Amino acid sequence: FPPDAYHCIFLGSGATAALNRAAILLSRLHRERPRTVLSLMEHHANDLPHRATSQSVLHVPLTPDGGVDLNVLARELARGDVGYVAMTACSNVTGWLPPIADIAAMAHHHGAHLLVDGAQMAVHHQLAAPHTIDAFVFCGHKAYAPGTPGVLIVRKALHDAVAPSELGGGIVHRVSQHGFELALDA
């Protein structure tokens, strides 16, 4: 991921915290496109946050060989109301590796973004074409880091287009009884 184009954000609670942050960010960014598309193979950490933050979630069925039905994904994206696709980079059940670069191209062609849950693959496989992904999540404990840091790598342009979902000390430039002004570098 080119550092000039992406933020790297460390969060607690493994991939779960990072996926929750990404779901909030992407659902806020796409209020006019209320649908989120997932596959049926998603781990609960990459399913439940989208159910909680998106207006509508569609689970794309799997093919007989255990992969995502890309024809159904293409048809759903063509409707034009999908804000983003959330997809695992590697199934934690079957080990199937979705064609992430192809899915990114398909999503972008229809004006949607792609969030990739890389928790199961980050240590074992190299990600093809990471520059095509809008947000990528993995967890430190599966990469042998101490504790359970979650990591969200997200395009700066997407992250910076949405107001922060968590507010508190250190994030504001000015506060009064009538409002507050966020710090520009927060």
Q: Across the chain, what does the average pLDDT equal?
A: 90
pLDDT of 185 > 60? The answer is: no
pLDDT at residue 154, rounded to an integer: 97
Q: What is the pLDDT of residues 39-96, one digit of tens each?
A: 999 999 999 999 999 999 999 999 998 899 999 999 999 999 999 999 999 988 888 8
Q: How high is the pLDDT of residue 33?
A: 94
What share of the chain in percent tops pLDDT 70?
A: 97
Lowest mean pLDDT among 117-121, 127-131, 177-181: 127-131
Q: What is the pLDDT of residue 30?
A: 87
> How many Å apart are CA 54 and CA 24, to the nearest integer?
8
DSSP state of 106: H
Inform me whether the pLDDT recorded for 186 exceeds 50: no
pLDDT one-digit tens code per residue, 8-22: 999 988 899 999 999
C-alpha to C-alpha distances, 18 to 10, 14, 38, 73, 138, nearest whole angstrom? 8, 7, 17, 24, 8
Q: What is the mean pLDDT of residues 12-34?
A: 93
Mean pLDDT of 116-143: 85
Whole-prediction pTM value? 0.89
- Predicted local distance difference test score (pLDDT) of residue 10: 92
CA–CA distances in Å: residue 154 to residues 7, 17, 23, 96, 182: 5, 14, 12, 24, 20
